[in-house]
Amino acid sequence: DTAVSQTPKYLVTQMGNDKSIKCEQNLGHDTMYWYKQDSKKFLKIMFSYNNKELIINETVPNRFSPKSPDKAHLNLHINSLELGDSAVYFCASSQRGQGGQYFGPGTRLTVT
C-alpha cells in the first residue's frame, strides 16, 4: 500500500535523450507536484497540478513537461536531457484544505 510511488528509482541516460518518470498516488489527493532536489539537498518546486490548474515554476526549462492522464498520476517528461538535469526528482501529493504533502521515494537521474 505505497501512498506515492515513482518509477524508475534510478535512471542513467546520455545527454540529448528524452526520458519520462512516472508517479502514482493512491491517497485520493487532488493535487500533485514535482520537485527537484540538487546535490546540496535543496528541494525546489517544479510544478503543481490539479485537474483545473497547472502552476509552473518560471525557472523550469520548457524541456520539462508534466502530463496527467488522470487524478492519480502525474508523469514528468524531459526532452533533450542535459548534464545539469542530474538530480533526484520527487513526486508529491496533497489534498486541498489539509496540511502537508506526501512524497514519493524519489528518482535519481544521472545524465552522462
Partner 1 sequence: TQLLEQSPQFLSIQEGENLTVYCNSSSVFSSLQWYRQEPGEGPVLLVTVVTGGEVKKLKRLTFQFGDARKDSSLHITAAQPGDTGLYLCAGTRAGSARQLTFGSGTQLTVLP
Question: Nearest distance from residue 60's CB to partner 1, in Å?
Answer: 13
Could you tell me which residues come within 8 angstroms of residue 5 by beta carbon, excluding any fewer than 6 positions away? 23, 24, 25, 104, 105
Q: Is the CB of 17 or the CB of 26 nearer to partner 1?
A: 26
Q: Is the CB of 84 or the CB of 99 nearer to partner 1?
A: 99
Q: Is the CB of 10 or the CB of 77 nearer to partner 1?
A: 10
Question: Nearest distance from residue 15's CB to partner 1, in Å?
Answer: 25
Grid cell listed for 69 = 492522464
Residue ranges in contact with partner 1 by CB under 8 A: 4, 31, 33, 40-45, 48, 50, 55, 90, 92, 94, 96, 99-106
Question: Nearest distance from residue 107's CB to partner 1, in Å?
Answer: 10
Angle at 44 between CA 67 and CA 62, to 5 degrees: 45
Torsion of CA 52, 56, 61, 66, to 10 degrees: -30
